[in-house]
Structure 1
Amino acid sequence: MADRGAPPAAVPLPDDWPARPDRSLALNRMGSFDWDLDSGLLHLDPAALAVLDLLPGEYGGDPAALMSRIPHADAARLKALAARALKAGTARHSAYFRVRPRNGAPRWAHAQAYLGHDAGGRPRRLIGVVRNAERELAQAAARSDLTEARRRLTGVVTRTTALLARASSVEDVLDVLRDPEALGHLTAVSVMLGVVEGGRIRLVAEGRAGSYVPELRYTRVDDAFPMSEVVRTRRPRFIASREEFRASYPLLWPYIESLSVASGAYLPLIAQAAPIGVLGLLSPLPGAFSDEERTLLLALGSSIAQSLQRAMLYEQRHDLAEGLQQAMLPRRIPDIPGALTAVRYRSARLGRSVGGDWYDVLPLPGGRVGLTIGDVQGHDTDAAVVMGQLRMALWAYTAEGHPPATALARASALLRELGTERFATCTYVEVDLAGGGLRIVRAGHLDPLLRHADGRCEWIGTAGGLPLGLSAEFAGHGGVGYPVTTGVLGPGETLLLCTDGLVERPGVDLGDSLEALREAVRTGPAELPALADLLFGTVGEPGGGDDMALLLLRRDAPGPGGAPGTPQAS
């Protein structure tokens, strides 16, 4: 391949036509050589000497004189190639090698030769041509680099798009930006995400710790920052040099100046024809982005925009439903003389929805307290509404003085009358704090767990009835009631009620999960708040697919003179 980037050799045009082979070679920056293997002399014509950066007076035919122009490693490799060629007796050979010029870095050359034999088959001469191959190899390397860059960028988009398809929250989207197998393959020292909020842009995260460029945590859309410009124009902004950063964004330059940043790309995140955010990429490599790079980056921005919008909608829906559900749960747990209590609740995160788990602590006359915990079928706003209605109904029935079995039967009938086609599980426990007596009624729910004062733990086996809403269907066929199980809660003993979200796991036997909960309670801390935190943090699956509710009550051991201890709620 001709080297169009270097000046032509000083060879005059031939007067004759057609040109002789030596003139043709010289005009195309190729020289010839002839190596007499008997004498060891190697002839190089002037064009070949020029390729090796030798003057005619510097070379007398001894190949050893070429060692000043060929690096030792390349000379050894050429010698080994020649030895194998002579041994094999093959006719045609070629090789690339480096030339060390008088000034400058080594450059590549290429030699091609024909091995001639005498009548007896003995190799006699090696005749060939030598040429400058620097531009040829540079172009091949550039093609290889381009192919690798295409593969890398395509892999970035493919990997990132696959991860974004599973993102269901803004935090999930941010995790993709930090993922080393996704955007980590981009040559970027900082990957930033800004979210549009009214007339402002809030920078929510950066994907490279330690190289975050603080364009201020909040900026206005009309500010002179690249993110603001992208939101206003809805067009990407590509910055090719540090000089362009300094000239175009003087407010940002003080933050860029100390970083190894030489170029940047800011991509609008547009969903439903409106900008919802900006993706910023800062690279240590200078230069304009190619058309192919820009196309791939815009495809990446489109995937992030769709995922971000979906995540924001999920979170808005979840926040609304969770706010409704929280409003229907008790705002505070009342102080119960003679008892300590602790409650915990966490809504489901899978699907960004909520369910109908609830708990309640109901002070009753005569030193008694009612404990309820339950779970309405489903994970949606309707489940939360039904939960609120059931909780208030049970509160009303017990406040009217109805015994536990009657309160659950009436709640079941109410749920049936609501026409929601939902059912609910529930456990209701009435505790006499003076004597420790227990009355337990269970509607398709988990049994209570009892921790004795000495740390022993056991499940209280209770007779159970059908879930609320289902039992009412059989009212016209003789009725289905709720049997009452009695027991005793001794001084210093703790009662635990929970919903199935705390113990049910896909692929895990329920019996094994219940045993793990029992063991965690047995070995857990004595303080109720610490025990509740432990159970939610270790037994309960973080970010699980179901609501979790937990209610703990400990009957106080008598204090000096037989008085109960000081109550507390948490």
Structure 2
Amino acid sequence: MADRGPKRPTVSVPDDWPAHPDLTLALNGMGGFDWDLDSGLMHMDPPALEVFDMPPAEYDNRPETLGCRVPPTESARLDAVVAAALKDGSHSYGAYFRIRLRDGGLRWTHTQGSIRRDESGRPRRIIGVVRDASDEYTQAAERVAVDEERRRHTSVVERTTAALAHARTVRDVIAVLADEQGLSRLGAENVILGLVEAGRIRLVSEGKAGSFVPDHELTRVGDEFPMSEVVRTLTPRYLRSRAEFARDYPDLWPAIEPLDVGSAAYLPLIAQGRPIGVIGLFYRRESEFRDQERNVLVALGSSIAQSLARAMLYDQEHDLAAGLQQAMLPRRIPGVPDAQVAVRYRSARLGRDIGGDWYDVIPLPNGRVAAVVGDVQGHDTQAAALMGQLRIVLRAYAAEGHAPATVMARASAFLNELDTDRFATCVYVDADLSTGAARFVRAGHIDPLLRHSEGICRRLPVAGGLPLGISSEFKRLDYPVTTIHLAAGDTLVLCTDGLVEQPGADLDDGLRQLAREVREGPQDVQQLAERLCESAAERSGEDDMALLLLRRLGAPEHDIAGRFRQHIAPADPQGLSAARHMIRAAVRAWGARERSEEIELVADELITNALLHTDGEAVVNIRMPHSVQRRLRLEVEDNSSSLPRRREPGEAGVSGRGLLLVDRLADVWGVEPRGGGKCVWCEFNCP
């Protein structure tokens, strides 16, 4: 668009005062018109024709003649404004429109008209002025450009500050600033970041690949480099052109010259009155860095400095917390004969990335081994400190040879004596790997899992008590013991809820998902542990996690599809219920679903008889062999040598009727002496 205004008339200073209105209008680039609406003629004075860039000789007092100067779109818009004013009874109107000059350029013009009406309100004449408005348009455009530039600069600070609000570590800050999205926000070609450490500046981010300046990863504050200069002076340094770069920093220029850099801004990062770093912003274009842009860059540097200071403090606290966590966990896991052990710990994503989860493996007298996984409430250094104390105390009680229930009760009493409002959950197992007998105690913790050598993975419903600390507070220190048989090749999975919890999901669903992952995972416990941790990392859980895998070694009995063994103490209804549940789950997992109810009913009868008629515990064994004719074998052992006797319905009394049920449901059954006791067994054909 042409920016040419009308020629101002050359006149001498008038003698009369005040000046005539025509002279006033002419001197200010304005002209008048008088439009007779009845005749359609429009008189325009010479200054008005000057605005339209039309010679007086070419104008015939007809508005249509001006059509060659007004583009069609502008003419239609102006006609609509005038028509609306005439129709709605207005006494005046005003409008901006463009005219086309004789050289083809466009000029913004403004017209103001006063509508003269008769007594009836009918419009008769329009008397008005027209003036060159190109200067107004230019100034308005400049104001819009300035406002747009101000909004753009403000947006840079706001968007960068918003992105930095989510950065917790120095690495996060670097990611916000130096990735493609960060460079786009900053409008820069590249960004470098250095941290001040003991009189030196360590470059922690060199930005885009290929932009690294060799031998400048570590520079002294006293060196003659722009980063060093802004740290010394605490003042930004702006390099407006490549020539200025080469002139002021000749030692650095050979490394900068090959890069696509036209200008640069180095900003000191100041927090609590001291420099903690420096950021360099590189631009492809040359820039004058006017006052407004410099103010924006200073504000941007302040925002980055605050985020960086917060991130550095977080990293220091994280390093301290991580060191404390590692000090509290066992430095090494002892070798366990006849077993493979794998342990893992993953820190939390909230708080200070530290928690109260722990694991431990404890050698016990007589060749046994204990494994424990626990979780102290909270995600802070206090939780980690309590965890360390509790782990050491529990390890000491176990090493003294106490029974599992006693170990748990004493650990609970110890936690209560610490006078803390924290509690802890825990699962503890005492395993004799030579025989496979494993005794479990659970204090408010999630159930462990057991994967059999043939691949079946099931949840072990271990009887439980109150969490540690709470049980002592309520004087309920009796922890039930659940005994399970670990066959050769079986893998025990102990973990904290951080491995299975998912936001918005039920804990049981998480345990079922974990069981599937264990079942489908590799046999090697180290590989399986890695697989489970990778899977947990993909979920959005924000709790810490401890994991312990223990696999009993030895050649598995390949002719056995599955094996189940459990000890049931007298007067333990929970143990009996757990046995029923596991029998049902095992039988169905082995493909004997059609006879599961019969097997469960017979097992319940034999277990009940053993508990009622003997003074000791009952031991339940179930085996499913691999063979053409699959026959499940159920055995119930007790310490009584008295053999059971089957009675017929007609005999007096009710005792002994259970064996009649066993005889009717089982395909074959019998009784065998076993040392000081006996074993009642039965078999079921499971096609």
TM more than 0.5: yes
Distance in 2 between residues matched to 1:107 and 1:211, nearest whole Å:
50
User: For 1:238-293, what per-residue CA distance to the aligned partner results, in whole angstroms no more than 9, with x for missing partners?
Assistant: 4556665565456369758864x766544322122211123444567765556555
Task: Name 2:488's counterpart in structure 1.
Answer: 491
Task: Name 2:96's counterpart in structure 1.
Answer: 96
Task: Name 2:529's counterpart in structure 1.
Answer: 532
Secondary structure (helix, strand or coil) at the match of 1:309 reads helix
Single out whichever of 42-51 and 9-18 deviates more from structure 2. Answer: 42-51
User: For 1:508-529, what per-residue CA distance to the aligned partner results, in whole angstroms no more than 9, with x for missing partners?
Assistant: 5444443443444445555544
Task: Name 1:567's counterpart in structure 2.
Answer: none
Q: TM-score, normalised by structure 2?
A: 0.67
Going from structure 1 to structure 2, the CA distance change for 1:561 and 1:127 (only over 3 Å counts) comes to closer
Distance in 1 between residues matched to 2:338 and 2:8, nearest whole Å:
105
Single out whichever of 231-240 and 58-67 deviates more from structure 2. Answer: 58-67
Distance in 1 between residues matched to 2:233 and 2:105, nearest whole Å:
47
Task: Name 1:137's counterpart in structure 2.
Answer: 137
Going from structure 1 to structure 2, the CA distance change for 1:44 and 1:495 (only over 3 Å counts) comes to same
User: For 1:44-81, what per-residue CA distance to the aligned partner results, in whole angstroms no more than 9, with x for missing partners?
Assistant: 43333433344455655565554554444323333443
User: For 1:441-494, what per-residue CA distance to the aligned partner results, in whole angstroms no more than 9, with x for missing partners?
Assistant: 2233222112334544332122334444555668xx7x8344321001233332
Q: TM-score, normalised by structure 1?
A: 0.79
- Deviation of 1:500 after TM superposition, in Å, equals 2.6
Query: Of 533, 552, 567, which aligns to 1:555?
Result: 552
Q: Does 1:546 align with 2:543?
A: yes
Task: Name 1:30's counterpart in structure 2.
Answer: 30
Tell me, yes or no, if the aligned pair for 2:6 and 2:132 is still in contact at 8 Å: no
Distance in 2 between residues matched to 1:455 and 1:215, nearest whole Å:
56
Distance in 1 between residues matched to 2:352 and 2:466, nearest whole Å:
30
Distance in 1 between residues matched to 2:367 and 2:45, nearest whole Å:
116
Distance in 1 between residues matched to 2:66 and 2:218, nearest whole Å:
66
Task: Name 1:345's counterpart in structure 2.
Answer: 345
- Deviation of 1:178 after TM superposition, in Å, equals 7.4
Task: Name 1:326's counterpart in structure 2.
Answer: 326
Going from structure 1 to structure 2, the CA distance change for 1:506 and 1:252 (only over 3 Å counts) comes to farther
- Deviation of 1:559 after TM superposition, in Å, equals 6.9
Task: Name 1:308's counterpart in structure 2.
Answer: 308
Tell me, yes or no, if the aligned pair for 1:517 and 1:539 is still in contact at 8 Å: no
Going from structure 1 to structure 2, the CA distance change for 1:178 and 1:258 (only over 3 Å counts) comes to closer
Tell me, yes or no, if the aligned pair for 1:455 and 1:522 is still in contact at 8 Å: yes
Task: Name 1:356's counterpart in structure 2.
Answer: 356
Tell me, yes or no, if the aligned pair for 1:348 and 1:543 is still in contact at 8 Å: no
Larger relative contact order (CA 8 Å, sep ≥ 6): 1
Secondary structure (helix, strand or coil) at the match of 2:351 reads helix
Secondary structure (helix, strand or coil) at the match of 1:350 reads coil
Distance in 2 between residues matched to 1:181 and 1:83, nearest whole Å:
52
Single out whichever of 264-273 and 33-42 deviates more from structure 2. Answer: 33-42
Among all aligned residue pairs of Structure 1 and Structure 2, give the percentage whose two residues are the same amino acid. 58
Amino acid at match of 1:494: T
Task: Name 1:81's counterpart in structure 2.
Answer: 81
Tell me, yes or no, if the aligned pair for 2:351 and 2:380 is still in contact at 8 Å: no
Amino acid at match of 2:477: V
Distance in 2 between residues matched to 1:247 and 1:118, nearest whole Å:
78
Tell me, yes or no, if the aligned pair for 1:71 and 1:99 is still in contact at 8 Å: yes
Task: Name 2:217's counterpart in structure 1.
Answer: 218
Task: Name 2:384's counterpart in structure 1.
Answer: 384
> How many aligned positions are there?
553
- Deviation of 1:322 after TM superposition, in Å, equals 0.9
Secondary structure (helix, strand or coil) at the match of 1:130 reads strand
Task: Name 1:267's counterpart in structure 2.
Answer: 267
Unaligned runs of at least 5 residues, structure 1: 563-570
Going from structure 1 to structure 2, the CA distance change for 1:534 and 1:103 (only over 3 Å counts) comes to farther
Distance in 2 between residues matched to 1:212 and 1:39, nearest whole Å:
78
Tell me, yes or no, if the aligned pair for 2:113 and 2:128 is still in contact at 8 Å: yes
RMSD: 4.3
Distance in 1 between residues matched to 2:330 and 2:336, nearest whole Å:
15
Tell me, yes or no, if the aligned pair for 1:315 and 1:352 is still in contact at 8 Å: no
Task: Name 1:565's counterpart in structure 2.
Answer: none
Max radius of gyration: which structure? 2
Equivalent residues in 2 for 1:187-198, closer than 5 Å: 187-190=187-190, 193-198=193-198
Tell me, yes or no, if the aligned pair for 1:34 and 1:42 is still in contact at 8 Å: yes
Tell me, yes or no, if the aligned pair for 1:451 and 1:457 is still in contact at 8 Å: yes
- Deviation of 1:403 after TM superposition, in Å, equals 4.0
Distance in 1 between residues matched to 2:418 and 2:372, nearest whole Å:
21
User: For 1:522-561, what per-residue CA distance to the aligned partner results, in whole angstroms no more than 9, with x for missing partners?
Assistant: 4555554454344334446768543211112233461799
Distance in 2 between residues matched to 1:108 and 1:501, nearest whole Å:
70
